[in-house]
Amino acid sequence: MSTHLHNQLHNPSLLAVRDLCVEFATRKGPVTAVRAVNLQVAKGETLGIVGESGSGKSVTSYAVMRILDRAGRIVSGGIEFGGMQLHGADEATMSDLRGREISMIFQNPRAALNPIRPVGKQIEDVLIRHAQATHDQAKAKAIEALEKVRIRDAAKRYHAYPFELSGGMCQRVVIAIALACRPQLLIADEPTTGLDVTTQKAVMELVRELTRSEGMSTLLITHDLGLAGEYCDRIVVMEKGEVVEQQDTKGLFTAPAHPYTRRLIRSTPHSAATIRDLLPDDLRTPLPPAVAVSEEPLLEVKDLVKVFEAPSSFIQRLRGRRESGYRAVDGISFSIARGESVGLVGESGCGKSTTSAMVMRLLDSSSGSIRFKGHELTAVSAAQFARTPQRRELQMVFQDPHESLNPRATAAQSIADPLRRLEGMTDGAAIRARVEELAAQVGLPLELLDRLPHQLSGGQKARVGIARAISTKPELLILDEPTAALDVSVQAVVLNLLADLKAQSGMSYLFVSHDLEVVRLLCDRVIVMRAGSIVEEGPTAQVLSNPQAEYTRELLSAIPRPAHLPGHGAQAALVVGAGAA
């Protein structure tokens, strides 16, 4: 008997949502965000709600808490919690329940805490509000709560302000606030989005342990099917405000019923998938034959260093206390061969983006050499580099497709920019023809070319960014987390586009990412960075299946691996896609 059925039989559901509809008032009239949603959470159960952006998963949880913002309202449906009808409850009842019976933790933990109140006081506020402590005991109990979420030096941290704590630490404080009164249900709304993968693991393990030990139920809201698969008993899949499927986790992964679920599972990268596996069947074409990787190095980086000088105030200088700079990149060396694609992997702050900015000549290096096709790139300063012939051979696709497009330029103007400046094209008709050719190459419908960025979807903007980057036929393309801001289904399409382009043109890629699963799909070789240094480097298959460095092992083990996804525990039998290989 599965745990799910067991729960259903012996524990009536703690939370039951029936036919919930939520509307938002907008300038163009009411918009339905959630339509006829039904779900139950049993006592002690962990339920995941998975969906892409705009699926209504967060709105559902806010409706349960009755903390929708002013524009939103529950149109119809019922929310029953432990026998109480929440949808009709007055605000006083709700605020008694919140924090005591149902708690919530959020994305972006630092912003979720009051910036000018010591974290200990914020825990005290909840304890005192729900009569879990008197004013005299509150401090001791708050410190206890901090200890419970494994904050070292809790008595000292009690006085800390959020800006003095790391993101992971802040999330622990948010969890401490949420669990301070031992609620029956914890709603976790994307609790680890924006955190590093190792921090994510630590936070999720902590939540699991604390909720299990107290017998709490959890509602985990996430865009990451892998995360839900690892931590949830049952999963609800939402699309465009509706529940399309709910099943216990194993059933969902092994026998997904709804086509959307199948597509979602398929586009989530995992260790056994090749890059084409991510696409729906009807889009899957055979990969064009890959260009052979030549022996000849295209790019050679040697002892590259970047030191950021700490700004010192006048008074500090008077005291002679000049802080030594921060070494963001601390003497790294690597090379990329012609036609090769190399992954540069690490967590935030490891120096990977600084490295790519220096190679791309957007940032001057402090010392070291960058040789590209025999030219020493550091000989010309970053500010002057636009005038060198190498500029058109080195291009980049940026992390955030929206932010990297000029809000005032149409798609065609953005793509045409390098053609005008670097290729010296002046004839309008010729430029237009070339822009259309590029658009076709990246699969951007021609009728979208005259739109402004805010009129395009995330995937379309990503295509514009790629078309612009390849317009000068560069030999080295740096991809700086090109899919980090995209939904998984869009990510799947963009990754395949990148693989196709590489196979067609024989470009080399430097693929900067925090996501080892994505790197696995696209890269021949991988470089792992930590704190400004390279900790491990080698062929992707080898590094991922048999990591040498402790840190690489840590990274790999932190990736959520749902038990039922194909390829779990099959690391020895890795079918490494290695991108276009």
| Choice between 173 and 243, CB closer to other proteins | 173
Task: Report if residue 135 touches other proteins, rule: CB under 8 A.
Answer: no
Burial class (CB in 10 A: 0-12, 13-18, 19+), 29: exposed
Question: Whole-number minimum distance, CB 27 to other proteins, in Å?
Answer: 8
What strand order describes the sheet that includes 217-222?
102-105, 185-189, 217-222, 46-50, 234-239, 242-248
- With CB under 8 A as the contact rule, the residue among 75, 84, 379, 383 that binds other proteins is 383
Single out the segment in contact with other proteins by CB under 8 A; choices: 197-205, 347-355, 393-401, 551-559. Answer: 393-401
Which of the 8 DSSP states describes residue 472? T
Q: Which is nearer to other proteins, 216 or 534 (CB)?
A: 216
Q: Looking at the DSSP assignment, which residues form a beta bridge with residue 13? A: 42
Report how far apart, in Å, the C-alpha atoms of 463 and of each of 353, 404, 490, 496 are: 21, 12, 11, 12
Q: Which of 19, 164, 214, 550 binds other proteins (CB under 8 A)?
A: 164
H/E element, 22: strand 13-26
Q: Residue 343's beta-bridge partner residues?
A: 511, 526
Residue 411 in contact with other proteins, rule: CB under 8 A: no
> Within a 13 Å sphere around the CA of 58, how many CA atoms are in the beta-carbon half?
14
- DSSP per-residue string spanning 403-464: TTS-TTS-HHHHHHHHHHHTS----HHHHHHHHHHHHHHTT--GGGTTS-GGGS-HHHHHHH
Min dist. Cβ of residue 408 to other proteins (A): 5
Q: Which is nearer to other proteins, 61 or 246 (CB)?
A: 61
**Applying CB under 8 A, which of residues 22, 42, 174, 522 lies at the interface with other proteins?**
174
Stretch of 11-19, 142-150, 173-181, 336-344 contacting other proteins, by CB under 8 A: 173-181
CB closer to other proteins, 6 vs 129? 129
Amino acid in the structure at residue 450: D
Q: Find the binder of other proteins among 163, 215, 325, 349 (CB under 8 A).
A: 163
Q: Does 418 bind other proteins (CB under 8 A)?
A: yes
Interaction of residue 406 with other proteins, rule CB under 8 A = yes
For residue 307, give every residue at least 6 positions away whose Cβ sits within 8 Å of its Cβ, in sequence order, or none. 325, 326, 327, 328, 366
Nearer to other proteins, 69 or 281 (CB): 69
- 8 A C-beta contact, residue 333 and residue 302: yes
Q: Report how far apart, in Å, the C-alpha atoms of 480 and of each of 223, 354, 466, 498, 509 are.
A: 21, 11, 11, 13, 10
Task: Decide: 476 and 507 in contact? Cβ < 8 Å.
Answer: yes
Site string for other proteins, 11-50 (x = CB under 8 A): ----------------------------------------
Contact set for other proteins, span 274-333 (CB under 8 A): 315
Length of the chain: 581
**Stretch of residues binding other proteins (CB under 8 A), selected from 73-81, 392-400, 524-532, 537-545:** 392-400
Closest separation in Å from C-beta 178 to other proteins = 7
- Contacts (CB under 8 A) with other proteins, residues 435-474: 452, 454-455, 465, 468-469
* Residue 494: C-alpha distances to residues 134, 471, 488, 581 (Å): 56, 17, 10, 17
Instruction: Pick one of 188, 275, 337, 405: the residue that binds other proteins (CB under 8 A).
Output: 405
3-state secondary structure 531-561: CCEEEEEEEHHHHHHCCCCHHHHHHHHHCCC
Tell me how many residues contact other proteins (CB under 8 A).
64
Query: Going residue by residue from 101 to 130, which x/- string records binding to other proteins, judged by CB under 8 A?
Result: --xx-x-x--xxxxxxxx------xx--xx
Residue 417 within binding range of other proteins, rule CB under 8 A: yes
Does residue 390 belong to the site contacting other proteins (CB under 8 A)? no
Instruction: Residue 556: count other Cβ atoms within 10 Å of its Cβ.
Output: 19
* Closest by Cα among 86, 78, 88 to 102: 86
**Which residue shows structure tokens 């691996």?**
561
Which residues on neighbouring strands pair with residue 188, listed in sequence order?
105, 220
Contact stretch for other proteins (CB under 8 A) within 199-207, 322-330, 371-379, 406-414: 406-414
When the beta carbons of 181 and 275 are compared against other proteins, the nearer one is 181
Task: Reduce the DSSP state of residue 60 to 3 states and report it.
Answer: helix
Stretch that binds other proteins, among 37-45, 220-228, 321-329, 398-406 (CB under 8 A): 398-406
Of 211, 222, 268, 399, the one binding other proteins by CB under 8 A: 399
What span, in angstroms and rounded, lies between the C-alpha atoms of 225 and 261? Answer: 10
Among the candidate windows 89-97, 346-354, 550-558, 573-581, which touches other proteins by CB under 8 A?
A: 89-97
Which range, of 172-180, 212-220, 300-308, 345-353, touches other proteins by CB under 8 A?
172-180
Between 7 and 61, CB nearer to other proteins: 61
Q: Does 70 interact with other proteins (rule: CB under 8 A)?
A: yes
Q: Which stretches of the chain bind other proteins, using CB under 8 A?
A: 65, 67, 69-70, 91, 94-100, 103-104, 106, 108, 111-118, 125-126, 129-130, 161, 163-164, 174, 177-178, 315, 360, 362, 383, 386, 391-392, 394-396, 398-400, 403-408, 414, 417-418, 421-422, 452, 454-455, 465, 468-469
